[in-house]
Amino acid sequence: MSKSALEALYAAQIAAVGLPEPVRELRFCDGKRWRFDFAWPAEMLAAEIEGGQWVTGAHNTGAGLLRDCQKYNTAVLLGWRVLRFPTTMVEDGSALETTLRAFGRGG
């Protein structure tokens, strides 16, 4: 499944359970081009959909991993909680379960 299809599935899952609508592609750090796939600024919560977990892609290289670490570490230092979801977690619903727990809804 493509990253855009995964994002559409996750967005539909979020809407189906009545979570607040997230901001898409939110730039969270001045001076950087970094964006979150999904963000709830009031909760300082972000979700990143990590497609392509079993294929070679930009995020699966050494340089890509370094960029991701810089982005996520900066986000945490700015006070964000960042959830990261690979393909399987979106498809099997565990990404939604984790998001619900982050909102205090679920065990």
pLDDT of residue 57: 52
pLDDT of residue 52: 58
Running DSSP on this structure, what letter comes out for residue 29?
A: S
**SS3 assignment, position 21:** coil
Place of tokens 């290289």: 61
Please list the ranges in the chain whose pLDDT falls under 50.
54
- In single-letter form, the type of residue at position 4 comes to S
pLDDT of residue 63: 79
Residue-level length of the chain: 107
Residue 38: count of CB within 10 angstroms of its CB: 23
- In single-letter form, the type of residue at position 64 comes to G
Domain boundaries, given as residue ranges, for the chain: 3-102
pLDDT of residue 107: 63
Running DSSP on this structure, what letter comes out for residue 61?
A: S
In CATH, the number for domain 3-102 is: 3.40.960.10
